[in-house]
Amino acid sequence: MKSSTPSSVQIPKVLTIAGSDSGGGAGIQADLKVIAALGGYGMSVITAITAQNTLGVSRIQDIDLDVVEAQIDAVFLDIGVDIVKIGMLASPEIVRIVAKALKRHGAKRIILDPVLRATSGASLGGDDTAQAMIADLFPMATLVTPNLEETSLLLGREITGPEDFKLAAQELLDMGPQAVLIKGGHLDATHTQLTDFLMWKTIEDGLEVVQSKEFKHYRVNTSNTHGTGCSLASAIATYLADGHDLAHAVAKGISYVEAGLEAGRFLNIGQGPGPLWHMHDFYPTALPGEESQY
C-alpha cells in the first residue's frame, strides 16, 4: 500500500530583512516578487514602513526593535532559512538587533545590500548606520552589494567610475565580508556600457586567495529603474540558495534585472520613475501600440 503522506519538496527558502515600500517597486515588496519569480519561497522581516511612491519617500516609521527581533525568531524557529538578504536598516539600533538575532540563529549566508539612500535622494540611514553595518554586519556577510554612492559613503571618499572599483572593492573586502559587488548602474548617462565589479575571497591549498571579475552590460534606455538594487541582491540570494556558485549567481542576477528593465521600459506606473518588470519570464509586457501579451 502506498503511503498517503506526500513526499517532501524542497525549494530555496529566502528571508528578506528590509523596509516596506508602499509603492510596491522596491524593498520588501520587490524582494518577494523576485524570490517568487525565481522559484524560491520568500519570507520577510520588516524593519521600517515607508510612505513611498514613484515620486519619492515622504515618511519613514521604524519598527520597534523587539518586533524586528521577534519576526526573525518566528521565521528561524519554524520554517528555517537557506539564505538571508538584508536591505534597509534605518538606524544603528536596528543594525545591531538584526546582527544579534542572526548570530543567535547561526545564519550562514547573508547578502547585504547597504541601502543608505533612496533613488529619489531620501536618506534611509546616515553615517552612524553605515558605521554600524561595517562593525556588526560586514564580518558576517557572504556578499555586500553597494552602488557608487553607497560605496562612497562607506569609504568616506568619492568613487566616480570603474577605474576606482578595484581599490574600493579591496578596501571594502578588508572590512570583513567574503565578497563585494560594486554596482555601476549609477554612472552618469554618458556611460552607455556599465560595469559591475565582483571581488571575493577563497581558500586554496589552505591559503586565502582574492579573485575578481568584471560584468559589463549595456545601459537599458528607460527611466523605470526603481528597485533595481533590491531586486539584484534578492536575485543573487535566490540563485545562491538554489546551488549556484557566487560568480554564476551574480551573472544570472544581473541578467535577470537587465531583462526586467528591458521588459519594463514602457510600463506606465506612477508619475515618476517606475519599477522594472519582475515577472518578465511569465508575463511579457507590450511595446507602445501593441496588444498586451498577457
160 CB contacts (<8 Å, ≥6 apart)? 148
What is 209-256 written as a DSSP string? EEEEEEEEEEPP--S--BTHHHHHHHHHHHHHHTT--HHHHHHHHHHH
Does the active-site annotation cover 19? Answer: no
- Out of 151, 230, 253, 260, the active site residue is 230
Does the active-site annotation cover 227? Answer: yes
232 CB contacts (<8 Å, ≥6 apart)? 113, 145, 183, 253, 254, 256, 257
- Out of 27, 40, 184, 227, the active site residue is 227
Instruction: Please report, to the nearest 10 degrees, the dihedral formed by the alpha carbons of residues 242, 245, 249, 251 taken in order.
Output: -150
- Out of 27, 42, 185, 229, the active site residue is 229
Does the active-site annotation cover 183? Answer: yes
Does the active-site annotation cover 24? Answer: no
Closest CA to 233 of 10, 44, 26, 49: 26
Does the active-site annotation cover 39? Answer: no
* Rounded-to-integer distance, Cα 30 and Cα 276, Å: 9
Does the active-site annotation cover 225? Answer: yes
Is the torsion defined by CA of 118, 120, 122, 123 positive or negative? positive
- Out of 183, 238, 260, 274, the active site residue is 183
Estimate to the nearest angstrom the gap between the alpha carbon of 66 and the chain centroid: 24
- Out of 16, 54, 119, 225, the active site residue is 225
**DSSP SS3 for 206:** coil
Instruction: Please report, to the nearest 10 degrees, the dihedral formed by the alpha carbons of residues 138, 144, 149, 151 taken in order.
Output: 60
Which grid coordinates are listed for 143? Answer: 556578499
* Rounded-to-integer distance, Cα 88 and Cα 189, Å: 26
| Type of residue found at 156 | G
* Rounded-to-integer distance, Cα 62 and Cα 52, Å: 14
What is 88-140 written as a DSSP string? ---SHHHHHHHHHHHHHTT---EEE----B-TTS-BSS-HHHHHHIIIIIGGG
As annotated, the active-site residues are 183, 225, 227-230
